[in-house]
A = this chain, B = another copy of it.
Amino acid sequence: MKTAIPRETIQRLPKYLAYLKEISGQQIEYISSLTIAEYFNLTPILVKKDLSKVSSIVGRPRVGFLVDNLIKDIEICLGYDNMKDALLVGVGKLGSALLSYGGFQNYGLNIVAGMDSNPNLVGTEVSGKKIFSPENAEALIKRMHIKLGIITAPAAEAQAVCDFLINAGMKGIWNFTPAHLKVPDDVVVKNENMAESLALLSVMLQKR
């Protein structure tokens, strides 16, 4: 059953997961796709389809799915059970905050180290994570087969950093800068544009 999962499904799964964990904490054992659909204002057919991509367990009519099994299946599908290593580039304020944030472990992400071109930062540690120079980071990426890079460098340097990481063998880029990154077809970029979110909130609030 686990063939290609559509992007839209993948994007909904973390929300389902958060909800399922919430109701699991409330000792609810079974859940129907209808209940999930109502909670998220989605159609039951869509939720049913999403879950069929994730879990080979078929929900029992009227009773639904066993919550804890569904949680496990979604976590496996999202690779949360399978720790992935990442390197973070650009140890400024945001970079340091992300290096210090322990919550990514719950999502199967392990930031192994930081990289910065500033010689004053190279060799230091942030929350126990060592900061490497670009040269040493490149060796680390290759040795550990790190496939995921997190870019928190200044926007003006983001493309150069991205090229460097891909050159070293990375296949996924999590971009926290507002820069527009150009990458080869076999590399995935996910933009996390907090400036964009803030802009929206800010303008919407002005209007009121």
Residues of A within 8 A of B (CB): 4-5, 7, 10-11, 13-15, 17-19, 21-22, 25, 39-41, 77-80, 84, 92-94, 97-98, 100-104, 107-109, 147-148, 155-156, 171-172, 174, 177-180, 186, 188, 190, 192-208
Contacts and interface: CB of A to CB of B under 8 A. Distances in A.
A200 B208 contact: no
A208 B4 CA distance: 12
Contacts of A205: 79, 84, 147-148, 171-172, 188
Contact of A97 (B7, B97, B202): B97
Contacts of A78: 199, 202-203
A37 to B, nearest CB: 12
B93 A198 contact: no
A199 B97 contact: no
Q: How many copies does the complex hold?
A: 2
Given A15-B180, A22-B156, A200-B11, A94 B84 contact: no
B203 A79 contact: yes
Contact of A101 (B97, B108, B196, B203): B97
